[in-house]
Structure 1
Amino acid sequence: MKKLSLQLAGGITLLGAIAAMPAMAETNVSKISQAMSSDAVAQNVTSVSQLSDVRPTDWAFTALQSLVERYGCIAGYPDRTFRGNQATSRYEFAAGLNACLDKINEIISAGLADKVSKEDLATLQKLQEEFAAELATLRGRVDALDAKTAKLEAQQFSTTTKLSGEAIMSVQGGSGNTGAPTSTNVFVSSRVRLDLNTSFTGSDLLKTRLEVGNGTVNIPTAFGAGSGPAGSNIGFQTYGQDYTGLAGGSTFTLAKLRYDFNIADARVSVGPVMHAYDHIDTNSYANNEAVDFVSTFFINNPLHVLVNNQTGGAGAAFDWNISKSAFTLRGLYLAGNGAQPAATAANNGGLFGDAYQATAELEFAPKNDKGEKPFALKLLYTNGSVANTDINAGGVNVEWKFAKGAALFGRYGFGSTKRTPILGAATADLSPQTWMFGLAFPDLFKEGAMAGIAVGQPFIENKVGNATQTNLELFYNFPVTSNIRITPDVQFIFNPNNSSANSTIFVGTLRTVFSF
């Protein structure tokens, strides 16, 4: 960039002052400069004192003061800083120059030409000549962006709703011996989700999900895995793919319908079709059957996600970050048969009947210097009833990214269940425990990829069986493109159904996920 020695009234070059600018506001050109920067949104200022890092002793203070207060063509970053020592490109400089030209043109058009000094006009004229090529390029980009925006607005699905989708196709099979009447062959499964995300105010969200799949029976069922209360995660059917065994089969089902909105510092959700895993017991490395582990056990704690069928339950949840600190409090209530007005032999239905769960969660997750949360510790308490089984449980959920490409995570749960019989036991009262621990390797071999390995025991109770079932799962999620991912996954189930008489089960899965 050629040095220009044309002076402003304050004795500082206009070139030096504008060159230090962040993206300008209130112009189409500013949109381009904002797109070039990670600090996206500029903040208008009317006084140089509003810029927290600009001081009267700074060499460009007088020039900045003039440009802000005389012409109003400087904006700060979202945190009200100016960052005058930050390097700028010729295109960013041209965007700032164009913003000042527009402001001065507005002043002249308003009949206030006497407020613009001849020296400033001469300087701007020479700057305009110096950056003619860049200004032409930026204006060409703006015209193209305006045309593209107009086209998208004319052809968009909705002014308030965005459509997104996910399709899972997988091949899986298993081998082993649990004494079940049938064994499994290699077979294929699929699931398609269509999400309609609607916002009326910009901060709220009405989420509607339609879901369909072809899998109605999964591998654990084929192996005769013992189960706990119907519709819950409790039991030994924990190595089934989370996206198979859909109640609706090949018929589209309303799989989610809830409304999220803000009340002060809390995010509140209400709806007739909600799921616990959206609000509690989340984990960055073991919580998404499309990205990480396929089995239900490693996705959620079986003692804390009780209402876990495809259509979830009716209820409400909140997420409250306490005074913008490292502590967050969450609460959830779900009724699995909230839409059922009459009692049945299996449950008494309704919003406050079986099945239901009420969960409270307290999270401690401090931010580091980069604003990230590499460590999170969550304490949970759940009270519920599923299939006439009363459940009280406590739990812990932890994750820690201790290196750039490595993290550990785990869950532990303990509690009590009351029902006769349950899981084949002769006693009405059980005190089960459950745990899992794993390692994740983000960006392994490729950015966006992730590998993971986890081991755990879904149901530890010496009154049930003569051994403890142990699950081991490994996966590698590889992004082929930004919209296609392939994941090989293997599982080993030792002592299935808490019985040493049952041989080890092997389950292999090749999962492909398309997102759009």
Structure 2
Amino acid sequence: MSANASAQSQQLNSVATQDVIGQNVTSVSQLSDVRPTDWAFTALQSLVERYGCIAGYPDRTFRGKQATSRYEFAAGLNACLDKINEIISAGLADKVSKEDLATLRKLQEEFAAELATLRGRVDALDAKVTKLEAQQFSTTTKLDGQVIVTVSASGSGTDNLLTPNGTLSGNSGKANTTVISRVRLNLNTSFTGEDLLLTRLEAGNGGASVSNSLDAANNIFRGFTGFKNSSVFDYSEAGNNFTLGRLRYDFPVGKDARVTLGAVMSLNDHLDHNSFANDESVDFSTRLFINNPLILPVNDGAGAAIAWNINGGAFSVRAGYVAANANSPTSSVAAASPNGRINQGLFGDSYQGTFELEFAPKNGEDEKPFAVRLQYTRASVNNLDYNTGGLNLEWAFNKAIALFGHYGFGNISNRGTAIATALPTYINAGATGDSLSPQTWSTGFAFPDLFKEGAMAAIAVGQPLIESKVGNATQTNVELFYRFPVSSNISITPDLQFIFNPNNNSGNSTITVGTLRTVFTF
């Protein structure tokens, strides 16, 4: 049966739609349930063996005696008519015998009603396809989206920062209950079936999480998204107007490599992945547990990334580069920075380049239950130079429990100025030297499919910034959640977090944040 006739058969027969058209048969006797006593058997046998115009099914059956099989038989007959018409149109009429033409006429008369119904249904299907093509959004682009809505409440006391002379200064009071929302619309365009042009639009209600509300200090320490903003929800702060959240093009290079070029991209789409702590819509909300703050100090901007799975094996190499001010051709003075003029552009401040080596062997089920990633980042943020390393680990002991975590270490140095002058909000009074040697870590356990398939519970603890020159204590974060899938498109996640010694200050009260997160996908 030709491809068109096969599609027609599948539209006519609900049983046949469950079969996959197989190889061409060379003899009608291979179609086991067509009885030789039927007069059509000889006719079908002659046409199949002479012109090869009917395809069989993997189980070698034709279902010739079932009521619906007359329509299926008519589809095969129609295919043979098309085949012989092609032969005649090609000027090869002498290749078709008069006996075969007479057989075709007789078969047409016998199955006239089925042929008429078949062609009517095909015409209706063609009309629907034409309408769909005329009204569809795009032949190359698919739209998907995500909506996050959270209700967040907090119990907290004072929130203090160190002043340059070493005294405490801050705000007191409790954060009010808030509603935070974010909407993302992704336009996924493919031109070859293997590439992807991602255009993302996103907006929100401008909601801010607890640490934003309590700490209004300038974010001098831009690189440490996990320190000052360690309790910031990764989906907060989206403004009321739609902005361009992603504009990048991914394409394969050879068999095992993939390259990304982007005017607006984020390196955490390509680096520092973790199966249990990497996505604010399905697991942890706060930035400390989503990514290593020392490995991704800039993260967002214009740049490129490459991923190479070496020979399809256990080792993968990834690298990425972004510049946050790539659209600015001139230098500028950061309003809140004592570090003076900032050189911008594609290769200027702020920028980061990151390299990652992953080892993730597959098991017998073609899964990767264990993965370890070694990382290195070279970056510049507000004239502060970052040289940092990291480790990202995940290990699923079995289907029900997994361990995950990351560790970061390195050096942050100021160009010719004391680090205390560059970061007066955070550095202890009297601190000397022009560099820091920070560390960061987090670890936790995840429990996939807990109580329900698709659900997950997890708990994690971590310290965003360990450095004796910053504050008089070390901030510690704890977060736990349980994601419950209501359906394939809706999930609800209760989340609880505790922040001890916020901003590395023992004078700050512990912050407790309870959140109910609802996520819709479409």
Same fold (TM over 0.5): yes
Q: Is the 8 A contact 2:179 2:207 kept in 1?
A: no
What is the aligned partner in structure 1 of residue 489 from structure 2?
A: 483
Change (3 A) 1:95 1:366: farther
What is the aligned partner in structure 1 of residue 437 from structure 2?
A: 431
Q: Describe the SS at the equivalent of 2:478.
A: strand
Q: 2:317 aligns with which of 307, 312, 329?
A: 329
Q: Which amino acid aligns with 1:252?
A: F
Per the TM alignment, residue 406 of structure 1 is displaced from its structure 2 partner at its CA by: 2.4
What is the aligned partner in structure 2 of residue 241 from structure 1?
A: 233
Q: Describe the SS at the equivalent of 2:211.
A: helix
Q: 2:371 aligns with which of 369, 376, 395?
A: 376
What is the aligned partner in structure 1 of residue 508 from structure 2?
A: 502
Q: Is the 8 A contact 1:169 1:512 kept in 2?
A: yes
What is the aligned partner in structure 2 of residue 353 from structure 1?
A: 348
Equivalenced residues, count? 452
What is the aligned partner in structure 2 of residue 314 from structure 1?
A: 302
RMSD of aligned C-alpha atoms?
Answer: 4.3
What does 1:157-168 align with in structure 2 at a 5 Å threshold?
157-168=137-148
Q: Is the 8 A contact 2:384 2:412 kept in 1?
A: yes
Question: Is residue 229 of structure 1 aligned with residue 221 of structure 2?
Answer: yes
Change (3 A) 1:460 1:485: same
Change (3 A) 1:440 1:154: farther
Q: Is the 8 A contact 1:393 1:414 kept in 2?
A: yes
Change (3 A) 1:410 1:71: farther
Change (3 A) 1:203 1:94: farther
For 1:399 and 1:68, locate their aligned partners in 2 and report how far apart those are by CA, in whole Å: 60
Specify every segment of 5 or more residues in structure 2 that has no aligned partner in the other structure, as ranges.
27-47, 61-65, 89-94, 161-169, 335-341
What is the aligned partner in structure 2 of residue 61 from structure 1?
A: none
Q: Describe the SS at the equivalent of 1:27.
A: helix
For 2:490 and 2:380, locate their aligned partners in 1 and report how far apart those are by CA, in whole Å: 39
Per the TM alignment, residue 144 of structure 1 is displaced from its structure 2 partner at its CA by: 8.6
Q: Is the 8 A contact 1:232 1:386 kept in 2?
A: no
> What per-residue deviation string (whole Å, max 9, x for no partner) do you get for residues 167-205 of structure 1?
211111212233431431111111111111112222221
Q: Is the 8 A contact 1:228 1:234 kept in 2?
A: no
For 2:304 and 2:25, locate their aligned partners in 1 and report how far apart those are by CA, in whole Å: 44
Question: Is residue 449 of structure 1 aligned with residue 455 of structure 2?
Answer: yes
Q: Is the 8 A contact 2:6 2:21 kept in 1?
A: no
Q: Is the 8 A contact 2:222 2:297 kept in 1?
A: no
Q: 2:240 aligns with which of 226, 250, 256?
A: 250
Q: Which amino acid aligns with 1:250?
A: N
Q: 1:191 aligns with which of 178, 182, 195?
A: 182
For 1:331 and 1:485, locate their aligned partners in 2 and report how far apart those are by CA, in whole Å: 33
Q: Which amino acid aligns with 1:202?
A: G
Q: Which amino acid aligns with 2:435?
A: D
Q: Which amino acid aligns with 2:198?
A: K
For 1:450 and 1:263, locate their aligned partners in 2 and report how far apart those are by CA, in whole Å: 35
Q: Return the TM-score normalized by structure 1.
A: 0.74
What is the aligned partner in structure 1 of residue 295 from structure 2?
A: 304
Give 1 or 2 for the bigger CA radius of gyration: 2
Per the TM alignment, residue 280 of structure 1 is displaced from its structure 2 partner at its CA by: 0.4
Identity across aligned pairs (percent)? 52
> What per-residue deviation string (whole Å, max 9, x for no partner) do you get for residues 357-392 of structure 1?
000111122222332222222111111011221111
Per the TM alignment, residue 94 of structure 1 is displaced from its structure 2 partner at its CA by: 12
What is the aligned partner in structure 1 of residue 268 from structure 2?
A: 277
What is the aligned partner in structure 2 of residue 204 from structure 1?
A: 195
For 1:170 and 1:221, locate their aligned partners in 2 and report how far apart those are by CA, in whole Å: 16
Per the TM alignment, residue 424 of structure 1 is displaced from its structure 2 partner at its CA by: 1.8
Question: Is residue 290 of structure 1 aligned with residue 281 of structure 2?
Answer: yes
Q: Describe the SS at the equivalent of 1:381.
A: strand
Q: Is the 8 A contact 2:53 2:80 kept in 1?
A: no
For 2:357 and 2:118, locate their aligned partners in 1 and report how far apart those are by CA, in whole Å: 49
What is the aligned partner in structure 1 of residue 41 from structure 2?
A: none
For 2:251 and 2:49, locate their aligned partners in 1 and report how far apart those are by CA, in whole Å: 37
Per the TM alignment, residue 139 of structure 1 is displaced from its structure 2 partner at its CA by: 11
For 2:504 and 2:252, locate their aligned partners in 1 and report how far apart those are by CA, in whole Å: 45
Q: Is the 8 A contact 2:227 2:464 kept in 1?
A: yes
> What per-residue deviation string (whole Å, max 9, x for no partner) do you get for residues 5-46 of structure 1?
xxxxxxxxxxxxx9xxxxx9983269789x999x99989799
